[in-house]
């Protein structure tokens, strides 16, 4: 294995999966560290969906759920991407990665620094470039999306989704209360404004706009009030539900650039 080619990605959500897809196609070996009950919404473009399905493909690349880190090598030999729900510490001990990418976009205090691995890259706000990570990638939509940050932090999270056809926060479905979900629709379905998409503890969640359901949280997840649980795309193209977004591809390009740059030094 060429030095620098082993990559550990924390999270397998949609933006993380865009990064994984880009790096995998460019010849990097990838392992994803994930929670036992991931809460991503865009499941149809998230490698972490393998946790629920056993295995899952994104744009022709297959990932497989691995519960024990000691089994990682078995799946890497098959050119698969292990989505591992073992502890990150054990994964590192077994896999010995060269590159670490924090792709959680969790807005929480980081649990590592740039000495964590030979190369450390962070996506989005709250990660300090030059201290926590070697390079941080800008994830805020706009002119700087995908830009490499060598010192300081990315732009703060606004909690406002990007505008699509004039809609932003109206696109997002949020849990009206704590509880269990009952899905009445599936990703890729067309819906009308005010149509009920799912229920949380019998409380209906209606779409605020007409469009196609681009994301729904897995029905096994117990949700908390206010949590993002779905996404409606007003453009109405079901193809967009099953392919990586423009934002994801842009960020992935930034990560690839950052790794190649750091490997030269």
What's the CATH number where 82 sits? 3.40.50
State whether 149 and 209 are in the same domain: no
Classify residue 239: in a domain, yes or no.
no
Q: What value does the mean pLDDT of the chain take?
A: 94
State whether 106 and 187 are in the same domain: no
How much is the pLDDT for 1?
Answer: 40
State whether 253 and 223 are in the same domain: no
Classify residue 162: in a domain, yes or no.
no
State whether 121 and 142 are in the same domain: yes
Q: How much of the chain, in percent, has pLDDT values that exceed 90?
A: 88
State whether 132 and 259 are in the same domain: yes
The answer to whether 123 and 157 are in contact (CB under 8 A) is: no
Q: CATH number of the domain that 229 lies in?
A: 2.40.50.100
Q: Can you give the residue range of the structural domain that contains 223?
A: 169-234
State whether 199 and 113 are in the same domain: no
Task: For 141-188, write each residue's pLDDT tens digit.
Answer: 899 999 999 999 998 876 667 778 788 899 999 999 999 999 999 999
Classify residue 151: in a domain, yes or no.
yes
State whether 118 and 98 are in the same domain: yes
State whether 149 and 193 are in the same domain: no
Task: For 64-106, write each residue's pLDDT tens digit.
Answer: 999 999 999 999 999 999 999 999 999 999 999 999 999 999 7
State whether 32 and 52 are in the same domain: yes
How much is the pLDDT for 157?
Answer: 76
Q: Which residues lie closer than 8 Å to 239 by C-beta, 6 or more apart? A: none
Classify residue 188: in a domain, yes or no.
yes
State whether 30 and 63 are in the same domain: yes
Counting the structural domains of the chain, the total is 2
State whether 223 and 92 are in the same domain: no
State whether 53 and 182 are in the same domain: no
**pLDDT band of 265, cuts 50, 70, 90:** confident
């Amino acid at each position: 294995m060429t030095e620098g080619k082993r990559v550990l990605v924390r999270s397998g959500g949609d933006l993380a999966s865009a990064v994984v897809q880009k790096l995998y196609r460019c010849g990097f070996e990838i392992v994803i560290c994930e929670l036992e009950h991931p809460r991503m919404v865009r499941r149809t473009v998230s490698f972490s969906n393998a946790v629920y399905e056993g295995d899952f493909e994104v744009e022709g690349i297959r990932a497989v759920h691995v519960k024990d880190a000691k089994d990682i090598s078995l799946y890497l030999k098959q050119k698969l991407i292990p989505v591992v729900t073992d502890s990150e510490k054990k994964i590192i001990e077994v896999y010995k990665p060269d590159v670490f990418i924090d792709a959680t976009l969790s807005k929480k205090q980081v649990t590592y620094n740039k000495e964590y691995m030979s190369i450390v890259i962070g996506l989005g706000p709250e990660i300090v470039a030059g201290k926590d990570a070697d390079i941080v990638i800008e994830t805020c939509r706009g002119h700087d999306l995908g830009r490499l940050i060598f010192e300081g932090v990315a732009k703060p999270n606004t909690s406002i989704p990007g505008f699509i056809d004039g809609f932003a926060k109206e696109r997002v479905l949020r849990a009206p209360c704590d509880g269990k979900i009952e899905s009445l629709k599936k990703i890729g379905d067309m819906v009308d404004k005010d149509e009920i998409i799912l229920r949380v503890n019998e409380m209906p969640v209606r779409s605020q706009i007409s469009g196609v359901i681009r994301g729904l949280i897995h029905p096994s997840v117990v949700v908390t009030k206010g949590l993002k649980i779905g996404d409606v795309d007003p453009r109405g193209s079901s193809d967009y539900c099953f392919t990586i977004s423009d934002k994801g591809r842009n960020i992935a390009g930034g990560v690839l650039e950052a790794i190649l740059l750091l490997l030269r030094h």
